[in-house]
Structure 1
Amino acid sequence: MDILPSQPGVRSNLAELIEMRHHVREVQLFSTPSRRSPLIGLHHSKLRGRGVDFDQVRVYQAGDDVRTIDWRVTARTQEPHTKLFHEERERPIFIMVEQSQRLFFGSGLMFKSVLAAQVAALIGWAALDHNDRVGGLVFGDAEQHEIKPRRSKQSLLQLLNRLVRANQALHTELQANREAFGQALRRAREVLRPGSLVIVVCDERALTESSEQQLSLLARHTDLVLFPLSDPLDHALPAAGLLNFVEHGAQLELDTHDSDLRQTYRSLADTRQAAWVRLAQKLGVPLLPLSTQSALVDQLRDHLNTFHPRKPQ
């Protein structure tokens, strides 16, 4: 049975993603002078490659780094001059967001595919509000669509439009592509400039040995923030008796009254979650897992309070 595109929580639409801009003030994703967010604790941290811009030339002073001497100006003026640089004030923010068949599911407030779209939209509006360049890559089982980072509302709307189109095209009969995440990461490595901030929004089950390697390579030249998405049923099976699953003609029957089966299922979920934690720790990047069980803004607030606990009154 087809699901109507307007059904809340099942399909995303452009109006809903545009509406996410009104939630930007509810959660401080990017830093302010008095508060630094984990997203943008990265934002003005490491100076890499083109992450610094040439500012001006002035007369050399004691203590200046000799490696910054401008030899052409020095030769022309017969007096030592040095180049001054300043940290680039804006960085490309590249939002990688999954819209695949495995995300087209949910037992909580919404489908995982809708949650992914909301995350991408909220971060996109927050980045634009912070005067940063925004672009991204929408990827699914069969297609990838890249939007180059630009500091314009049109660029973000282009990304959101592409996201909605991918979301609307999801259905249960899609052929899953287990390599889609790794392929998207390889594409990101090809197009991203060093020092970019990369937001990764994907299914919790997307992490494989291959994609973990690609994330590690991407982290060498960019800053990452990881948003693995899950549903309560990804982590625990209800004791609901016999459950039948059908996919592409194949059928599977599970007796969920079997406590050993439920424990094995739970252990597999614990293993997936632990793999994300290990990866984030190894790469030294923020990990913000999200669930369809709760509202997005509430979950982000909880994560930010974990990074920045409130001072006792």
Structure 2
Amino acid sequence: MSRQGAARPTEPVSGVHVQVAELIEMRQRARELPLFSTLQRRSPLVGLHHSRLRGRGVDFDHVRAYQPGDDVRNIDWRVTARTQEPHTKLYHEERERPIYLLVEQSRRLFFGSGKGFKSLLAAQAAALIGWVALAHNDQVGGLVFGDDGCQEVKPRRSKQSLLQLLDRLARANQQLHADLQSDPEDLGLALRRTREVLRPGSLAVILCDERALTDTAEKQLTLLGRHIDLLLLPLSDPLDHALPDAGLLRFARGGARLELDTHDHSIRHAYAEQARLRQLRWQQLARRLRAPLLPLSTERPAFEQLRDQLIGAT
């Protein structure tokens, strides 16, 4: 859907660019997303890190007598020594914590063959998660990164903070055009900045192109995951995973030109294999970091995908 040499857009285009009013309107749909636990439903985000690092994202509640099945690491040895009976420390989920939306808006995402561009999908998904987090009484902030650098909003439990982030996200989205040059390491740089500003117990939500996972970015995600919780949302388009059998296709970028004969089965197979390996790398990283992985595609609206994946994970 994107083509080289297109002029910089002067106003948002449906399916390509987003307006801040649209991101604000998503507040209504966000109420239906089970991102966090309720009395009726357990969130897929709960327990993924707490079992590995006690106290991360939780607050101390009280002490009670030890019961079979309790984690021995939670034994309160002072109370146990005083009472001569084993006692366990109990924790409850932290009700307020920084949630940091790391959202890519680069030329790499300025493409789509489905319902819209990947850059649009990233903005919509970020808005939905931001509204859910604010309704959950959490602090919301983030970093919009792309071809023109980074724009940061510090996490605060404030509607104004989220609106400021959405405004910067919409502005970055509207400035995207096909002539921009992407930095392959922009995700790694944004993650490094995130490590500098977030405190332990925070949640970082990563919305980036599926192809952005370089060695540098993976290293930064690994370092980041040692101290905070992660939610990974790699973005893709159907054409990222499979070439159509459409004959000779010509590609151009800068001064480079490339022709592919998509009638050649070996070319289509090699292309699909590269995509499979990218997806596998994300899956292996998510397992290693014990982080939820919610891949998104331009095939369907962001809300439908998030709702179905979150409900299916509960």
TM-score tier by shorter-chain length is 0.7 to 0.9
Find the structure with the greater CA-based Rg.
1
Give the aligned partner of residue 252 of structure 1.
Answer: 258
Q: Secondary structure at the match of 2:142?
A: strand
What secondary structure is seen at the aligned counterpart in 1 of 2:235?
strand
Post-superposition offset of 1:24: 1.1
The reply to whether residue 66 of structure 1 matches residue 78 of structure 2 is yes
Is structure 2 residue 182 aligned with structure 1 residue 176?
yes
Q: Does 1:113 align with 2:119?
A: yes
The answer to whether the Cα contact below 8 Å between 1:236 and 1:265 also exists between their aligned partners in 2 is: yes
Distance 1:192 1:181 in 2: 16
Q: TM-score, normalised by structure 1?
A: 0.85
Q: How many angstroms does 1:138 deviate by?
A: 0.6
Deviates more, 1:39-48 or 1:215-224: 39-48
Indicate conservation of the 8 Å contact 1:5/1:12, yes or no: no
Q: Deviations over 1:147-175 (max 9, x none)?
A: 11001110000100111111111111111
The answer on whether the counterparts of 1:31 and 1:41 sit within 8 Å (CA) in structure 2 is: no
Give, as a single letter, the amino acid of the residue that structure 1 aligns with 2:290. G
State the 1:51 CA deviation. Answer: 5.4
Structure with the larger RCO, 1 or 2 (CA within 8 Å, 6+ apart) = 2
For the Cα contact (< 8 Å) 1:133–1:149, is it kept in 2? yes
1:233-268 C-alpha deviation (Å, 9 max, x unpaired) = 000011111111111122111111111100000000
**Structure 1, gaps ≥5 residues long:** 57-62, 68-83, 309-313
Q: Tell me what 1:277 maps to.
A: 283
When structure 1 is superposed on structure 2, of 250-259 and 191-200 the one drifting more is 250-259
1:311 aligns to what?
none
2:313 to 303, 307, 310: 307
Cα distance in structure 2, aligned partners of 1:159 and 1:150: 11
CA distance in 2, matches of 1:246, 1:8: 25
- SS at 2:31's partner residue? helix
Matched positions, count? 288
Q: CA RMSD in A?
A: 2.5
Residue from 199, 202, 209 that aligns with 1:196: 202
Gaps of 5+ in 2: 1-5, 63-74, 80-89
**Taking structure 1 as reference, are residues 8 and 43 closer, same or farther at Cα in structure 2, changes over 3 Å only?**
farther
Matches within 5 A, 1:61-210: 65-66=77-78, 88-210=94-216
User: Is it true that 1:227 corresponds to 2:233 in the alignment?
Assistant: yes
Task: For 1:92, give the aligned amino acid.
Answer: P
Q: What fraction of aligned residue pairs are identical, expressed as a percent? A: 61
The match for 2:15 is 9
Contact 2:111-2:119 within 8 A present in 1 as well: yes
Question: Who is 1:290 aligned against?
Answer: 296
